[in-house]
Structure 1
Amino acid sequence: MHSGSIAPRYNSQLDSNDCRARGGAAFFFCKKKANYRERGGESADHVEIYELAMRQPGFLVNGIRILYVNDLPIDLNWGDSVKLVKRVCVTMICMATLLNSQVSFATTLAGAKQQAAALKNQISSTTLQIQQDQVRVETLKTRLGLINHSLQNVRVAMSANLAHMRVVNHQLVVLGKRIKVNERQLTTTRTELQGQLKTMYEHGTVSYLQVLFQSTSFQDFLTRLNMLVTVANAGQALEKRFQALKQTLAVQHRQTVSYYGELIHTQVSDNVLQQADVLLQQEQQQSIQSIQTNMSNQQLRHGELESQLQLTQQQIASIEAATARAEQLMHNTTYVSQTVAGMPSINLQNMLKYAEGYLGTPYSWGGTSPSGFDCSGFTQYVFAHSGVSILRTSEQQFAEGVSVSYPNLSLGDLVFFSTYAPGATHVGIYIGNGLMIDAQDYGVSIDNISNSYWGPKYLGARQLVK
Structure 2
Amino acid sequence: MQEVDNKGLCHLKHNRKRNVRWIVGVVTSVLLLGAPLEHTYAESLSQEQQTMAQLQAEVKQTNNSMTFAKTQTVTVKAEIAHYQQSLTNLKSAMSHNLHQMQATEQKITQMNHSIAVDRKQLHLYKDSLRAQIRVMYENGRVSYLNVLLESSNWEDFLSRLYMLITIAKTDQHLVSEVTSLQQQLVLKKEAQQYNYSLLVQKHTEYEAMKQADVLVEDQKNQMLAQLNQNIQNASTKHGLLESQIELTQSQIQQIEQETQQAQSLVQSSSYIQQTEKTLPTVNVQSLLQYAESFMGTPYVWGGTSPSGFDCSGFTQFVFAHFGVDILRTSEQQFAEGLSIPENQLTPGDLVFFSTYAAGATHVGIYIGNDLMVDAQDYGVSIDNIANSYWGPKYIGARQMLGN
Q: TM-score range by the shorter chain?
A: 0.7 to 0.9
Aligned to 2:139, the other structure's residue is in SS state: coil
Of 140, 145, 151, 2:87 maps to: 151
Contact map agreement 1:23 1:396 (CA 8 A) in 2: no
* Greater RCO, 1 or 2 (C-alpha within 8 Å, sep 6+): 2
Q: Distance in 2 between matches of 1:304 and 1:102?
A: 8
Q: How many aligned residue pairs are there?
A: 374
The match for 1:271 is 207
CA drift at 1:163: 1.0
Q: CA RMSD in A?
A: 4.4
Change (3 A) 1:257 1:282: same
The match for 2:56 is 120
Q: Distance in 2 between matches of 1:315 and 1:133?
A: 33
Amino acid at match of 2:186: A
Change (3 A) 1:254 1:367: same
Of 138, 141, 150, 2:74 maps to: 138
Contact map agreement 1:119 1:309 (CA 8 A) in 2: yes
* Superposed counterparts of 1:5-404, under 5 Å: 58-59=16-17, 108-313=44-249, 316=252, 322=257, 329=264, 341=276, 343-356=279-292, 358=293, 366=303, 368=305, 372=307, 374=309, 378-392=314-328, 397=333, 400-401=336-337
The match for 1:50 is none
Q: Percent identity?
A: 36
Change (3 A) 1:408 1:314: same
Q: Distance in 2 between matches of 1:149 and 1:352?
A: 83
Aligned to 1:125, the other structure's residue is in SS state: helix
Q: Identify the range of structure 1 (192-201 vs 331-340) with the bigger mean alpha-carbon deviation.
A: 331-340
Aligned to 2:16, the other structure's residue is in SS state: coil
Contact map agreement 2:372 2:385 (CA 8 A) in 1: no
Q: Distance in 2 between matches of 1:453 and 1:109?
A: 21
Change (3 A) 1:423 1:238: farther
Contact map agreement 1:359 1:443 (CA 8 A) in 2: no
Contact map agreement 1:96 1:102 (CA 8 A) in 2: no
Gaps of 5+ in 2: 1-11, 30-39
> CA offsets, 1:364-388, max 9 Å, x none?
964636xx56355554343234432
Change (3 A) 1:337 1:360: closer
> CA offsets, 1:62-112, max 9 Å, x none?
xxxxxxxxxxxxxxxxxxxxxxxxxxxxxxx9x899979969875544444
Q: Identify the range of structure 1 (377-386 vs 454-463) with the bigger mean alpha-carbon deviation.
A: 454-463
CA drift at 1:352: 2.2
The match for 1:29 is none
Contact map agreement 2:258 2:331 (CA 8 A) in 1: no
Aligned to 1:59, the other structure's residue is in SS state: helix
Amino acid at match of 2:146: Q
Contact map agreement 1:409 1:461 (CA 8 A) in 2: no
Q: Distance in 1 between matches of 2:305 and 2:287?
A: 17
Of 371, 382, 399, 1:447 maps to: 382
CA drift at 1:218: 0.9
Q: Distance in 2 between matches of 1:60 and 1:195?
A: 120
Q: Distance in 2 between matches of 1:301 and 1:110?
A: 24
CA drift at 1:442: 9.0
Q: Distance in 1 between matches of 2:377 and 2:49?
A: 30
Contact map agreement 1:361 1:373 (CA 8 A) in 2: no
CA drift at 1:291: 2.5
Amino acid at match of 1:219: E
Q: Identify the range of structure 1 (383-392 vs 446-455) with the bigger mean alpha-carbon deviation.
A: 446-455
CA drift at 1:308: 3.8
Q: Distance in 1 between matches of 2:378 and 2:64?
A: 45
CA drift at 1:273: 1.9
Change (3 A) 1:416 1:244: farther
Gaps of 5+ in 1: 1-21, 25-56, 62-92
Aligned to 1:430, the other structure's residue is in SS state: strand
Contact map agreement 2:151 2:160 (CA 8 A) in 1: yes
CA drift at 1:176: 0.1
Aligned to 2:17, the other structure's residue is in SS state: coil
Contact map agreement 1:417 1:454 (CA 8 A) in 2: no
Q: Distance in 2 between matches of 1:332 and 1:425?
A: 20
Amino acid at match of 1:162: L
Contact map agreement 1:212 1:224 (CA 8 A) in 2: yes
CA drift at 1:306: 3.0
Q: Distance in 2 between matches of 1:459 and 1:247?
A: 115
Change (3 A) 1:122 1:403: farther
Change (3 A) 1:431 1:189: same
Change (3 A) 1:107 1:170: same
Q: Distance in 2 between matches of 1:196 and 1:214?
A: 18
CA drift at 1:234: 1.6
Change (3 A) 1:229 1:406: farther
Change (3 A) 1:458 1:309: closer
Change (3 A) 1:108 1:403: farther
CA drift at 1:249: 0.7
Contact map agreement 1:403 1:460 (CA 8 A) in 2: no
